Amino acid sequence: MVSRPALPVPEALRDEELIRKHYERMARAGLEEDLGYGPDLTTLSTIAKDQVGRRVLRSRASGVLSGLDAISVLLKVAAEPEWGLGGTVEFRTALSNGDRVQPGKEVALLEGDLRAMLQLERSMLNIVSHASAIATHTAEWVERLPEGVVVRDSRKTLPGLRMLQKRAVVHGGGAPHRWALGDQVMVKDNHVLSQADHSQPGSGAEDAGDVVAAYKLVQHCGQWIEVEVDDLEQLRAILPYKPMQILLDNFSLEETRQAVALRDEHSPATLLESSGGLTLDNAADYGATGVDSIAVGALTHSVTVLDLGLD
């Protein structure tokens, strides 16, 4: 049995203080968007001052929860005097991020100042519905893949929402790719192109030697290194250098099977990751080839919200 290294987990996603800071920044952005252009005259005119209320956060669909801790941070930030909400809202739940829910399931109970609750309702739902959508979609990929094959996300996240989105992938059972440009090395096709021989202007094509040249420039940097290859020729060229991880970009199923055989023969400890052209329908087929992981940008950039409501 070949022993391969474990995929690295970005430190940012394990840093509780950093998580809180990102959620506070997200909360302030949402509050500024809703309350930064003047008071909510609708709520202030129709709801009596100091009126208290109770709302139930309930799931209207099946899915996996995420973003519950972000809601708690939002409510804490919203209690700050600068937002002028005038009261606080208490958030109570017996559930956790990563828990599955069915239609009609009570997720949380909110009690407190009714004016504040109505003004915060949309921000709360936006956060938990979006995060839960990512967790739910990730769980669908996990269910399609063979045991031991990991589904990973990408940096295809919205500015300011990366912490929420990447943590949601984890809550759905996926594994986060690098957090930022600085915590892993990833040699992609554009880096390889920079090593191309420009003595033939207009060629615009990288070759196997360029992949090796780019890898040699980063192999002693002291970080986790993943190298992207576009074809079997590049793979054959880079395998003798035994990189930690290789990304097979847009390989067909047959090419992926050949890539796994080459890896097993020349560098058994190297992790292989498939990316490009992957769908839920072909996930099991790619997972069965022997790759260690698949990377799916759609986990964060193409999801439909999980239907949750405040009743």
**Residue 14: active-site member:** no
Short-list 134, 14, 129, 143, CA closest to 71:
129
Q: 3-state SS of 152-191? A: ECCCCCCCCCHHHHHHHHHHCCCECCCCCCCCCEEECHHH
Among 249, 263, 273, 292, the one annotated catalytic = 249
String of DSSP letters for 217-282: HHTTSSS-EEEEESSHHHHHHHGGG--SEEEEET--HHHHHHHHHHHHHH-TT-EEEEESS--TTT
**Residue 228: active-site member:** yes
Among 156, 189, 207, 307, the one annotated catalytic = 156
At 77, is the secondary structure helix, strand, or coil? helix
Among 113, 153, 226, 228, the one annotated catalytic = 228
- Tokens 């309930």 appear where? 58
How far is residue 207 CA from its own chain's centroid? Answer: 32
**Dihedral over Cα of 94, 98, 100, 104: its sign:** positive
Among 14, 21, 54, 122, the one annotated catalytic = 122
Measured in degrees and rounded to the nearest 5, phi and psi for residue 88 equal -115, 160
Measured in degrees and rounded to the nearest 5, phi and psi for residue 167 equal -65, -35
**Residue 156: active-site member:** yes
Among 14, 21, 49, 188, the one annotated catalytic = 188
**Residue 122: active-site member:** yes
For residues 108 and 310, give the distance between their C-alpha atoms in angstroms, rounded to a whole number: 9
How far is residue 113 CA from its own chain's centroid? Answer: 34
Q: What is the set of active-site residues?
A: 122, 156, 188, 228, 249
